[in-house]
């Protein structure tokens, strides 16, 4: 697919495939098109050329909410909680609109998800009073509430301390173990490398390298463009 912003080509003929159940890493320097790529996949942006298929269905003309209902969920790089709602209610939105549970079931299910992610004690807290790590967890919890087949995690660990990164990684590994495909965008190299089975490196809207984490680290282009060697 391709995506332009005016005269600027944010993505030029990027082509990739992610297998069901895969842990897939997406890296690249700032402005290389990572977020644009997943905005196109999740439906926040429309790609001009090319196509996007999900489970065999062409989805590039569907609205974002329809894609979510087909099983694509994402977290946002800068957390975007529904700030007038409690933590619990934040999860009730996708549970009601995507999974279509009634209110009582949605609340019970939301609480269950918050327990698995370690936010249960904050269920009634207004979401605008959360700390940074709690906000990141809420982003993931809300994505889980949409019962995705594919979860796109956009820098879920940016700005977190070492043990907090571990916590989030553990959550993502656990989600993947239940069969959810995960695309991870991350700048914390040691986390992406440990997590991903396969990695793609973007630079200036093009794929410059694709392979296992070990291949990527050794690749000369990646080192020049991103790793700063």
Partner 1 sequence: MKFWIGVAVTVALATGLALSRTNEYFFYAGFVVLQFVVLATAWNILGGYAGYVNFGTAAFFGIGAYTAVVLFKAAGAPLALQILAAAAISGLLGFGTGLLTLRLRGIFFSIATVAVIFIMETAMVNWRYVGGATGMQLLRPPVMEPFESYTRMLFVAMAILALVAVSIARYIEVSWIGRGLRAIRDSEEAAECFGVPTLRLKLFACTVSGALMGAAGAAMPMYMSFIEPPSSFSLTYSVSALAMPMIGGTSHWLGPVIGAILLGSVQQIVTVTISSEINVLVVGVLLVVFVVAAPDGILGLLKKLGWLLRSSR
Which residues contact partner 1 (rule: CB under 8 A)? 42-44, 63-65, 68-69, 73-74, 76, 80-85, 89, 92-94, 96-98, 103, 142, 145-146
The answer to whether the beta carbons of residues 212 and 38 sit under 8 Å apart is: no
Give just the sign of the alpha carbon dihedral 118, 67, 208, 182: positive
Which burial class, exposed, middle or buried, applies to 214 when counting CB atoms under 10 A from its CB (0-12, 13-18, 19+)?
Answer: exposed
Instruction: Indicate the residue among 78 and 229 with the shorter CB distance to partner 1.
Output: 78
CB of 214 to partner 1, least distance (A): 33
CB of 136 to partner 1, least distance (A): 14
CB of 143 to partner 1, least distance (A): 8
CB of 146 to partner 1, least distance (A): 6
Q: In whole angstroms, what is the distance from residue 150 CA to residue 217 CA?
A: 26
Instruction: Indicate the residue among 42 and 176 with the shorter CB distance to partner 1.
Output: 42
Q: In 3-state terms, what secondary structure has residue 37?
A: helix
Instruction: Indicate the residue among 101 and 202 with the shorter CB distance to partner 1.
Output: 101
CB of 175 to partner 1, least distance (A): 17
Instruction: Indicate the residue among 181 and 219 with the shorter CB distance to partner 1.
Output: 181
Measured from the Cβ of residue 183, the count of other Cβ atoms closer than 10 Å reads: 24
Instruction: Indicate the residue among 24 and 76 with the shorter CB distance to partner 1.
Output: 76
Cα–Cα distances in Å, from 161 out to 11, 98, 105, 166, 188? 32, 33, 35, 9, 11
CA angle at 191 for the pair 186 and 194, rounded to the nearest 5°? 125
């Amino acid at each position: 697919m391709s995506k332009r912003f005016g005269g600027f080509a944010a993505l030029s003929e990027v082509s990739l495939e992610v297998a069901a159940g895969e842990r897939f890493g997406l890296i690249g320097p700032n402005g290389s098109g990572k977020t644009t790529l997943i905005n196109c996949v999740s439906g926040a942006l429309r790609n001009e050329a090319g196509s996007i298929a999900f489970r065999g269905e062409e989805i590039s003309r569907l609205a974002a909410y329809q894609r979510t209902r087909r099983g694509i969920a994402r977290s946002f790089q800068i957390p975007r909680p529904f700030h007038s709602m409690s933590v619990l209610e934040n999860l009730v939105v996708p549970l009601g609109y995507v999974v279509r549970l009634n209110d009582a079931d949605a609340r019970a299910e939301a609480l269950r998800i918050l327990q698995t992610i370690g936010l249960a004690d904050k269920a009634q807290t207004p979401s605008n009073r959360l700390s940074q790590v709690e906000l990141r967890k809420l982003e993931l919890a809300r994505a889980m509430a949409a019962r995705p087949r594919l979860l796109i995690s956009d820098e879920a660990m940016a700005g977190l301390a070492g043990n907090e990164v571990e916590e989030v990684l553990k959550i993502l590994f656990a989600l993947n173990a239940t069969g959810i495909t995960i695309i991870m965008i991350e700048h914390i190299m040691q986390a992406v490398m440990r997590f991903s089975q396969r990695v793609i490196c973007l630079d200036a809207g093009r794929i410059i390298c694709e392979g296992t984490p070990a291949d990527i680290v050794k690749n000369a282009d990646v080192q020049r463009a991103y790793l700063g060697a």
